[in-house]
Structures are given as structure tokens and as C-alpha cells.
A and B are shown apart, each in its own frame.
Chain A
Amino acid sequence: MLHVDLARGRCLRGEIPEELLRAYLGGRGLGVRLMRDYFTLDPFDPDLPLIFAVGPLCGTASPTSARLAAVSRSPLTETIYDCSAGGRFAWRLKASGVDALLVTGRSPEPVLLALDGERAELLPARALWGKGIRETVASLEGRGSVAAIGPAGENGVLFANIMMGEGNSIGRGGLGAVMGAKLLKAIVVNGSGETRVADRERFEAARGDVMRLFRASPVIFGELGIAEYGTPALVDLMAQRRMAPTENFSATFFAASGNYSGPSIRRECGARKDGCYGCPIQCKKSSREGEPLPEYETVNHFGALNGISDLKAIVKANTLCNELGMDTISAAATLSAFGEARGRFPLAEELPALLADTAYRRAEGELLSLGSRRVAERLGRPELSMSVKSLELPAYDPRGAYGMALAYATSNRGGCHLRAYPISHEILRKPVPTDRFSFSGKARIIKIAEDVNAAVDSLVACKFAFFGATLEEYGELLSAATGVDYGPESLKAIGERIYLTERFYNCANCFGVADDTLPERFFREAGTAGEGIEVPPIERARFREELQKYYRIRGLTPEGTFADPSFLDGMP
């Protein structure tokens, strides 16, 4: 582990006890465990750590595993927060001999952290402060892989990202603002060490099993899957299923969504395959000019959610958010709530100025930089924030998938689709289909999926890998890589430990049953019917019943809290 104390300008290497690595794996789990002494600190307290942790599969040929998790407390949601990101940065960090980078303190001046093999140093970065992501990354060319903040992070936008040099982002919860508050402009890593694999033959066999399952998955390598069209492959599907959030979730179908569907983006932008380092799926797409193209959530939210059908404007908004270092989902959803509150959604041509104002916190952007919950409250329309625990909901309307509805509510980082990812079975039929308009069994399913995904985020692997593979195959990869036997059940047990630890942190920060709910709109208003599909409001009593079931399954009180205040003492 490398501990960087920005206040004192120190970089100290230390060992992570093996017991913790076995109990929490790495990535999200390790980061969450390392937060144990800090989780009640304010998100902008200089002593709050910002942690970058890789997983035990990073540096190996495990498919989709060149990833890391960034962990801290979110200034947007005030929950414990983690985000997974892929790319060379994670791989080079691991190759520097660092499983976890823990940054604390506030530097007196903007700085850059440079890791080159065993050497770690803090360098002045005043010249970079104020620069956009592209220029920052270009300025650091030759020094290794880059993670940097843009103007949004520097200015404390509550949904500022940390952007990776290759276009990946550590998004959603505003960890870019945490980094900015520490006056840490960028981190460059340039390790070249190798990761040992304990049993190479076993590893290759497991890798073959994973790749076979990828090839068998229509979502991954199918003709119409994400390898071909990226996540915008979901645009047409969500339109057909009548669950594409439209005009701040007042509707669930946008007639012009075909303008930004996967095939349209391919045709109009010349989309070509791109993606994370070491990933065989390559679900990200870039334009003919090499510009990263928007993902599903981004096209829907700058599109349908704001009533905009102009693909060029959507692509431009995505590019601008990347350049400014800002989360696209929260940015677009905040604009949408703002638009409904003031009586009109933004026009396509207004997006660039509004986004720039947000990143620089000027004019209306000062308000928009706070995210939709605070915007709606300050405009006297709190009901218009389509968020859970202040995190703006992504592009899966919960009225169209009841597991998703429950999972938004129980997510430890707020309204996120990726904690339990029920879209996988409710919509994409993986590993098996479930009835999207039924709550039956969903409490147990969500609990299990949260455990699974906490383990996945700690390996660290990409969630998309699990449209094909399972913990059975990834457990085998992990066993082969480490020489320690893991299987699905032992990994789920680790995931459960991680999940409950996060929940305990949140409860200690006063989160409870009142926060585990959805915006009122979903209980009162119907979505858009069509193609024989009705999208009624969610039945509130049934939702609450399932939430209480979920609490019982988790061993929580009816308030969603822990009966045992010493819970953490029993955790490794």
C-alpha cells in the first residue's frame, strides 16, 4: 500500500495484512475496509482518504480485470462511495507494486502525484490547474497512465469525475471534487512489474471457460450485442420495453430515440470498437476521429430525459462533460430536473453553455453544480429530483422493472443500476429471465446480486463480463492466480461482508429506511403504455413490503439499521 499525505508531502509504503486481502479481496472491498477509521468524516475534510485499489486479478490475463475501484465518501450522496474503472492506469498501478493508494490531507498547492516503479513523488501542478482533461493528459505524455480532474473537480462540482487518460471515468458520486479539494490535479503511474500467477495451466483453462461463455452470450458477442454497438444497443430495447426515462421521468418512451440508437451512432459517427485495456469485449465506441462516443445512459439522459433528439448535440455534450471532468448521468438529470422546475427543458444548443457554467460554477451553473436534489429543493420543487440518496437515477425506469426499483432503493451508493444490476435478468434475460413486473422473490434476488457484485467490484472485474460468465469461472481464475481456493459461495460471503460494512457506515451517518425509497412520481404516475405493455405506477404497499423482506433477509431492523452497534468489531 502507498499512503500519500498531501498535507505533509509524504509518500509512505506499507504492507496490507494478508488477512485483509483474503477477507476483502481488493478493489471496492479493500477500499471500504480501509475507510473504517474515516467513514464519518465530511467528504471535504482533508483527512478523508481518497483510495484507489486494484484487485487480485489486475495485471493478469483475466478478461476485463485491468480495473480498479476508487473509494471515499461522496460529497453528492454523503454515503460511502466507490466506483470501478478500467484501463491501463489500474494495470500500471499494480505494476508499481501498489494494491492500494490511499491519499489523505490537503496540499498547500496544486500537485501531481507521480509513481514510477518504486519511486513516488509529489510535483508542482500549478501550471496544470484550470486545464481541461485533454490538455492535462497531453501535458503528462510520456510519464505513464493518467488519472486527472478537470475544472469540475477543481471547482467542487458535486458530481465531478476523476477521468482516466484513455477516456474511462471514475464517475457518479463526485470523487473528482474530493480529489480537487485536496488540490491533487492528477496522478501518473508508470509501473512495469509483472503479476505472478500461481498456477498458469489452471488459469488458462479458466480463462478459456470465461471466453467460451462470452462467445455464448448474445448480450456480449452477439450480432446485436455490446461488443458491436456498445451500450447504446440498449436504446431500442428500452424503447420497446417502454422504460426509457423521458422528460425527467414523466414518460417512459421517446419517439425520437432512434436518432441515437446503436445503429444510428454507428452510421452517423462511424463508431468503431474501443474499450478498456485488456478487455476482449471492447464495448466502448469511438468516432472516426477517435473521440469517445456516449454510452447508453448518456444518450438517453441528454436525449429523451431532456427531450432532445439531436445526436450531434448529445455527442458534443458527452465530449464536453469528459473534457470538464463531469458525470454525464448526473449532469443531464440535473438539467432535466432544473428544466421541469422552470417549465422548459434545455434546447440542444443550450447544452454546451449550461455544462460549462456548471463546471465553472458560474451563473445558473452555480446551482446546477449541486446536483438535482439540491437544485430541486432550492427551487421549492423537491419532488422533481429523480434521485435516490441524492444520486440521480440512470436510464432504466423503475416502473418497468420492479427489481430495479428495489435495487435503486437499497443501493449503498444511492440510485445506481450497477449495485444489483437486475436489468441483467429482468430485461436481458441473464443468467435467466425474471418477471420484470413482479416483486415476487426480488428481495432475495437483489440481496444475492448485491453480494455477487460487491465481490465482482473487489476482484476487480467488469459487470458486463457477467452477462456471460459467473463467479464459478471467476472464482477459478482467482484461485489459479492466487493459489488460494475461492468459489461462488466464498466470494458471495466476501461480498456480503463488504455490503454490510458499507451499510453500517451509512447507518452511522444517519441513513435508514426513510432514505431507501424512490421519488414520489414512481408511486403516483404511470409510465407510457404501448405495444401492448402497460406501465402502471409502482404499488407503494407492495414496494414497502418487499423492502421489509429485504431488511429481514439482510438481518437489519425494520428501520434498515443494525441491531448490534458493535457489528464492525466482528468483522476482519
Chain B
Amino acid sequence: MRDQLEKYAAKLAADRSALPEAIAFAARDDLLITAGAPDLARLAGGTLSRLNSLALVAASPSLPFAELLVARAPAGDCCIVPQDTETRTFLHDIPFLRKDELSADPSAAIARLLANRKGVIVEGVGIVAVGAITVEQAYINYSSVFHSTFVKYLQDLLADGFLLPGEREAFEEFRSRWLKPISVEGLAFRAMLSEDKDEILAEIESVGRYTVERGLVDSFFGNISARSGDLLYISQTAASLDELKGCIDPVPGDNSSTTGITASSELLAHRKIFEQTGAKAILHGHPKFSVVMSMLCESGDCTIKDCWKDCPRVRHLGGTPVVAGEIGAGGLAKRVPPVIGATGSAIVYGHGVFTLGRQGFGEAFAAMVDVENFCRDEYFRRLDGMEQR
């Protein structure tokens, strides 16, 4: 199990969601083991030993957004409620502990919150997340909290501006140093994907890895598919896009086999996009600025409350259509296919981006990069504009 702790600590460092020197994991088989920064490792071990779960991560995020959300929260609040799809579906809300609630050993207080939720924010410590049955799950839950707090903080900033001393400076540090340009530079794609199974599988594996490496996902989630005649090759549910070898399901178009029961929850959306657009490849990721901007709606007279599923409108961000729709068998599979063909990309409210390639994945990947870069530029344009006002 130690190899698992090392693997996921390295992932947190590589995806730059945690400070490399401030990551600790704990895991329990018949014995409790810990690894990483000593103080955090003690905390992780102490907390996990109070839970009926297998693993736990405690780490300081590389960005101050989670801490800032806690600091901005009104006195008396005990959780934040991001509105992105991942939070709404899997986390529900994110509880937090303020510094003044922490004793010398806060593990009991943290365990009390983790008894009901997958991840918590501990002011002055970072994000603590639990994995019920695997170390990977702890990593996923940490990443989800990181993603959700990123999205919510940027949303809140656009709505309310900087409120706290030092907040502007911290954000500028993020903008100028943490954020990196996103591009397709240095990536190789097959210009035209053939019908060959091995070639398709190899290309899907490569593109999945690119998607994670370029930060177009939260943790490693998203999905990816290619069409070959009557077969659709699609990444499996809960698959790490950067480790897709052996995790791609072939699904026949006539549903004559159900081996694809393990396929991505977005199988239906992929299939309908292929049917309606004639595309060869589809990529779906959760790039952060696209998620943030998709939830920025300026129609003032709207009475719809559950926008993520009930909004019937097609809005646009730089020409890319934005639609509502829940994941899986929810509305996403109905609303994305009719709009994606015209531009080759579509954004789902609070969720992520679908893009397609007519010949191969190069076009799809470039489209996702373009959408995210547009949304990033648009976000800062609006923030700067607000500041100037």
C-alpha cells in the first residue's frame, strides 16, 4: 500500500494542486501507515484512526482559495456550497473548521466532519479528504475539493470583488505565477484516425494523458471516445484519463453486447454526438475557467432556480454554445448533441466542455484548449473591468 501513497502524493505534486512539501497520506490495512510531511502525517493518521475508512490525505493546497473562501464566509457558517456539477453531485457541500475551532490535536474535530462528508477545509492546515476504500479515492476527493473551491472562489470574486486584506496580492500571485498558458504545443496527434483498433486505443491513451497533463480536468476525470465503423471505443467509468491502458471499452452500435456496462457515464452523449455530427473523436474535460464562465448568466428576469438542469436556453461563450443538463442519464445527452456540430465544441453548465474531431483528436484537443483560453481571457477581462469600475 505504500506504493499507493507515493503514487498519489506524486500526482498531487504533479498536478500542482498541493504544495509538494506539505502533502501527507495515511492508510490502514491491518496496520496504520502514514507518509509525507511529518506534522500532516500525524494529523492524517490520527484522523483516519477515528474513521471506518481505508485512506486519508491532508495537504496544503497550492492556492489560497479554500482558505479565502473560509475567511470570506459569514460568521456562523460552517460549510461552503459550490454550485459546480461535481460538488452538487458528489460532495453536496464542503464543511470547514476555522482556526479558532482547532485544538492542539484537531483530528477528532476533523474526523467528526469527515463522518458525514468526503472532504473538509481546515483553516491553517489545508484540505483533508477521506478515501472510503482506496487511496485513490482520497486523492480524488482532495482534487474535487480543490477544483470546487477554485471554481467557487473565482465565481465569488467576480460577484463581490476582493474583500480581505492581502487577497488581491494573493490572487495576483496566482494569476502571474501559478497559471500557465494552455496550448497544444509539443503534443502529437494522428492527423487522421484509422479504423485500426490498436491505433485507436493508443491514440486514446495518449490524448487522455495530454488532457490531464495540460490541466483540462479535475483530478483525472473526463471521458474520451473514438468511432470505428459500428464500434465506439470509450474510456471506462472512473478511469484515470492519464492511465487508460486496459480501461477502454468497445461498444457495438447495435447494443448486441453489454460489456460496455463499465463504460463512461457519458456513453449516451458520445453516441448521440457521433450520430448527429459524423465526428470521429470526442473529448470531454472539466477545464476550470470554462466551468466558472458557464455559470455566469446575465439574464436578470429569469425565474429558473435549478439552472444546471432546467435552463432551456442556449447561451454562447465566444461562439461556443452553453447548455444545461445533468450528467449520465440526465439531460446532458439530449442537449449537447444538437448544438455541438456547428462549432465543434459545447460547454455544459457548471460541468465541463465537449469537443469533437472530424478526423482525429488533434482538432478536438485544440478546440478544448481554445474554449478554455477564451473563457480564461474573458474571466480576467470581466474581473479587470469590474475592478476599474
Shortest distance in angstroms between A101's beta carbon and chain B's nearest beta carbon?
31
Residues of A within 8 A of B118 (CB): 472
Counting CB contacts under 8 A, is B140 at the interface? Answer: yes
In the bound complex, do residue B264 and residue A218 qualify as a contact, i.e. CB atoms below 8 Å apart?
A: yes
Q: B36-57 CB contact bits vs A (8 Å, 1 = yes)?
A: 0000000000000001111000
In the bound complex, do residue A429 and residue B237 qualify as a contact, i.e. CB atoms below 8 Å apart?
A: yes
Q: Which of B132, B238, B259, B260 contacts A433 (CB 8 A)?
A: B238
In the bound complex, do residue A428 and residue B261 qualify as a contact, i.e. CB atoms below 8 Å apart?
A: yes
Q: Which of A222, A427, A472 contacts B265 (CB 8 A)?
A: A222
In the bound complex, do residue B52 and residue A434 qualify as a contact, i.e. CB atoms below 8 Å apart?
A: no
Counting CB contacts under 8 A, is B328 at the interface? Answer: yes
In the bound complex, do residue A235 and residue B116 qualify as a contact, i.e. CB atoms below 8 Å apart?
A: no
A225 CA to B238 CA, complexed, in Å: 16
Q: A465-498 CB contact bits vs B (8 Å, 1 = yes)?
A: 0000010100100000000000111101100100
Shortest distance in angstroms between B317's beta carbon and chain A's nearest beta carbon?
24
Residue of chain B at shortest CB distance from A229:
B258
Counting CB contacts under 8 A, is B336 at the interface? Answer: no
Chain A contacts with B in 205-231, Cβ cutoff 8 A: 209, 212-219, 221-225, 229
In the bound complex, do residue B237 and residue A218 qualify as a contact, i.e. CB atoms below 8 Å apart?
A: yes
In the bound complex, do residue A496 and residue B261 qualify as a contact, i.e. CB atoms below 8 Å apart?
A: no
In the bound complex, do residue B267 and residue A222 qualify as a contact, i.e. CB atoms below 8 Å apart?
A: yes
A215 CA to B27 CA, complexed, in Å: 31
Residue of chain A at shortest CB distance from B264:
A218
Counting CB contacts under 8 A, is A316 at the interface? Answer: no
In the bound complex, do residue B89 and residue A216 qualify as a contact, i.e. CB atoms below 8 Å apart?
A: yes
Shortest distance in angstroms between A471's beta carbon and chain B's nearest beta carbon?
9
Counting CB contacts under 8 A, is A553 at the interface? Answer: yes
In the bound complex, do residue A240 and residue B259 qualify as a contact, i.e. CB atoms below 8 Å apart?
A: yes
In the bound complex, do residue A431 and residue B132 qualify as a contact, i.e. CB atoms below 8 Å apart?
A: yes
Counting CB contacts under 8 A, is B315 at the interface? Answer: no
CB contact under 8 A between A223 and B115, given known A432-B136, A441-B29: no
In the bound complex, do residue A233 and residue B238 qualify as a contact, i.e. CB atoms below 8 Å apart?
A: no
Shortest distance in angstroms between A240's beta carbon and chain B's nearest beta carbon?
5
In the bound complex, do residue B117 and residue A218 qualify as a contact, i.e. CB atoms below 8 Å apart?
A: no
A427 CA to B261 CA, complexed, in Å: 10
Residues of A within 8 A of B132 (CB): 431, 448, 470, 488
A406 CA to B92 CA, complexed, in Å: 33
Counting CB contacts under 8 A, is A425 at the interface? Answer: yes
In the bound complex, do residue A219 and residue B326 qualify as a contact, i.e. CB atoms below 8 Å apart?
A: no
Counting CB contacts under 8 A, is B102 at the interface? Answer: no
Shortest distance in angstroms between B329's beta carbon and chain A's nearest beta carbon?
4
Counting CB contacts under 8 A, is B134 at the interface? Answer: yes
A444 CA to B48 CA, complexed, in Å: 13
CB contact under 8 A between A492 and B140, given known A217-B328, A224-B260, A233-B261: no
Residues of B within 8 A of A247 (CB): none
Counting CB contacts under 8 A, is A552 at the interface? Answer: yes
Q: Which of A222, A434, A448, A549 contacts B261 (CB 8 A)?
A: A222
Residues of A within 8 A of B265 (CB): 216-218, 222
Pick the interface stretch among B169-177, B183-191, B249-257: B249-257
Residues of A within 8 A of B134 (CB): 425, 432, 434, 441, 445
Counting CB contacts under 8 A, is A171 at the interface? Answer: no
Q: Which of B51, B90, B328 contacts A218 (CB 8 A)?
A: B328
Residue of chain B at shortest CB distance from A226:
B261
Counting CB contacts under 8 A, is B107 at the interface? Answer: no
Residue of chain A at shortest CB distance from B247:
A433
In the bound complex, do residue A237 and residue B1 qualify as a contact, i.e. CB atoms below 8 Å apart?
A: no
A219 CA to B249 CA, complexed, in Å: 14
In the bound complex, do residue A448 and residue B133 qualify as a contact, i.e. CB atoms below 8 Å apart?
A: yes
Shortest distance in angstroms between B103's beta carbon and chain A's nearest beta carbon?
20
A219 CA to B259 CA, complexed, in Å: 11
Residues of A within 8 A of B359 (CB): none
In the bound complex, do residue B52 and residue A451 qualify as a contact, i.e. CB atoms below 8 Å apart?
A: yes
Residues of A within 8 A of B239 (CB): 429, 433
Q: Which of B28, B29, B51, B140 contacts A432 (CB 8 A)?
A: B140
Q: B185-222 CB contact bits vs A (8 Å, 1 = yes)?
A: 00000000000000000000000000000000000000
Counting CB contacts under 8 A, is A234 at the interface? Answer: yes
Main secondary structure of the interface of B (DSSP, over half): loop
In the bound complex, do residue B92 and residue A209 qualify as a contact, i.e. CB atoms below 8 Å apart?
A: yes
Residues of B within 8 A of A470 (CB): 132
Q: How many residues of A contact B (CB 8 A)?
A: 56
Residue of chain A at shortest CB distance from B240:
A433
Counting CB contacts under 8 A, is A443 at the interface? Answer: yes
In the bound complex, do residue A263 and residue B256 qualify as a contact, i.e. CB atoms below 8 Å apart?
A: yes
Residue of chain B at shortest CB distance from A232:
B258
In the bound complex, do residue A490 and residue B133 qualify as a contact, i.e. CB atoms below 8 Å apart?
A: no
Residues of B within 8 A of A236 (CB): 257-259
Shortest distance in angstroms between A237's beta carbon and chain B's nearest beta carbon?
5
Chain A contacts with B in 431-475, Cβ cutoff 8 A: 431-434, 440-441, 443-445, 448-449, 451, 470, 472, 475
In the bound complex, do residue B52 and residue A489 qualify as a contact, i.e. CB atoms below 8 Å apart?
A: yes
A213 CA to B88 CA, complexed, in Å: 10
Residues of B within 8 A of A444 (CB): 28-30, 54, 133
In the bound complex, do residue B116 and residue A489 qualify as a contact, i.e. CB atoms below 8 Å apart?
A: yes
Shortest distance in angstroms between A543's beta carbon and chain B's nearest beta carbon?
15
Chain B contacts with A in 44-72, Cβ cutoff 8 A: 51-54
Residues of A within 8 A of B267 (CB): 218, 222-224
Counting CB contacts under 8 A, is B383 at the interface? Answer: no
In the bound complex, do residue A475 and residue B116 qualify as a contact, i.e. CB atoms below 8 Å apart?
A: yes
Q: Which of A214, A441, A448, A489 contacts B1 (CB 8 A)?
A: A441
Counting CB contacts under 8 A, is A261 at the interface? Answer: yes
In the bound complex, do residue B327 and residue A552 qualify as a contact, i.e. CB atoms below 8 Å apart?
A: no
Which residue, A223, A240, A430, has most C-beta atoms of chain B within 10 A?
A223
CB contact under 8 A between A492 and B52, given known A262-B258, A428-B262: yes
In the bound complex, do residue A212 and residue B330 qualify as a contact, i.e. CB atoms below 8 Å apart?
A: yes
In the bound complex, do residue A237 and residue B259 qualify as a contact, i.e. CB atoms below 8 Å apart?
A: yes
Chain B contacts with A in 116-131, Cβ cutoff 8 A: 116-118
Residues of A within 8 A of B238 (CB): 429-433
Q: B261-285 CB contact bits vs A (8 Å, 1 = yes)?
A: 1111101100100000000000000
Residue of chain A at shortest CB distance from B271:
A223
In the bound complex, do residue B327 and residue A215 qualify as a contact, i.e. CB atoms below 8 Å apart?
A: yes
Counting CB contacts under 8 A, is B355 at the interface? Answer: no
In the bound complex, do residue A440 and residue B1 qualify as a contact, i.e. CB atoms below 8 Å apart?
A: yes
Chain B contacts with A in 130-146, Cβ cutoff 8 A: 132-134, 136-137, 140
A552 CA to B32 CA, complexed, in Å: 12
Q: Which of A215, A240, A496, A549 contacts B326 (CB 8 A)?
A: A215
In the bound complex, do residue A448 and residue B262 qualify as a contact, i.e. CB atoms below 8 Å apart?
A: no
Counting CB contacts under 8 A, is B236 at the interface? Answer: yes
In the bound complex, do residue B258 and residue A224 qualify as a contact, i.e. CB atoms below 8 Å apart?
A: yes
Q: What is A's interface to B at a CB cutoff of 8 Å?
A: 209, 212-219, 221-225, 229, 233-237, 240, 258, 261-263, 425, 427-434, 440-441, 443-445, 448-449, 451, 470, 472, 475, 487-490, 492-493, 496, 549-550, 552-553
Q: Can you list 21 A-B pairs with a CB-CB distance of less than 8 A?
A: A212-B88, A216-B265, A218-B264, A218-B267, A235-B258, A236-B257, A425-B133, A428-B261, A431-B133, A431-B137, A431-B238, A432-B134, A433-B239, A441-B4, A441-B134, A445-B133, A472-B117, A472-B118, A475-B116, A489-B52, A492-B52
3 tightest CB-CB pairs across the interface, nearest first?
Answer: A489-B115, A487-B116, A221-B329
- New A-B pairs, 14, CB < 8 Å, besides A443-B30, A492-B52: A217-B265, A218-B261, A218-B262, A219-B262, A428-B261, A428-B262, A429-B238, A429-B239, A434-B134, A441-B29, A444-B54, A445-B54, A449-B133, A472-B117
